Every structure is written in C-alpha cells, then in structure tokens.
Amino acid sequence: MFDVQARGREVTTTGYGDLQSGNDENQQYTDQFSGTSSASPIFVGVLGCLQGILRAKNKELLTYSRVRELLRNTGSPQQDAPSFPRTQRIGNRPDMHQLIENIL
C-alpha cells in the first residue's frame, strides 16, 4: 500500500457531457469528475512515467519498496483541512520533477 494523494475533484475526463454533449457519447466530456476514481489514475500515470524513463535509459526499474520510499521523501506534504487533519496522514502529492531527479 502507498500513502499518496492526488487531485480528486473537478477532473476533466470523458463521459457525462456537461462540457461537451451530444448524441455520440465518445465525444462527451466533463470537468466535474471527483473522488478516488479520479485521483488513482494520476498516481498510476506518475509511476508509469517514471518506469518509462528508467526503461528508456536502460536503468533498473523501480521496486515496490523504492517507490514507497520515493513517495514518502518527495512531493507536497499533506495540509490540514477541516475534515482531513495532517495527522490523518494520507501521504504526499507526487511531484514529477522531484521524482525524476531522484531516480536519475
């Protein structure tokens, strides 16, 4: 398990059609998607980019423990919020620049 956070509200994505609608649902999109279902892909995308960078440079790919270490030691720390105090520890928000510097 990873302690990490990512933007999870007002995410622009396909479907729902409140930004662009019409009869073809393949062309609909919204900017109101929210929740863990929108935050998780951001983290997965960060991890995929890091692994791709390492692969392109013929370097060893990240292990589970190395990813966990990187995420804990980089990024934007959790801030206090009314219903989510910093002591709840949901993790840092990934920072690609910091992560790339750390893996290279």
Work out the pLDDT band at 1, boundaries 50, 70, 90. Answer: low
What integer pLDDT is reported at residue 41 of this predicted model? 80
- For residue 102, give the nearest of 77, 71, 57, 76 by alpha carbon: 71
Both tokens of 54, joined, read: 């390492």
Both tokens of 22, joined, read: 């019409």
Buried/exposed code over 8-34 (b: 16+ C-beta within 10 A; e: otherwise)? eeebeeeeeeeeeeeeeeeebbbeebe
What integer pLDDT is reported at residue 13 of this predicted model? 80
- For the chain, what percent of residues have pLDDT higher than 70? 94
Distance in angstroms (rounded) separating the CA atoms of residues 14 and 22 = 13
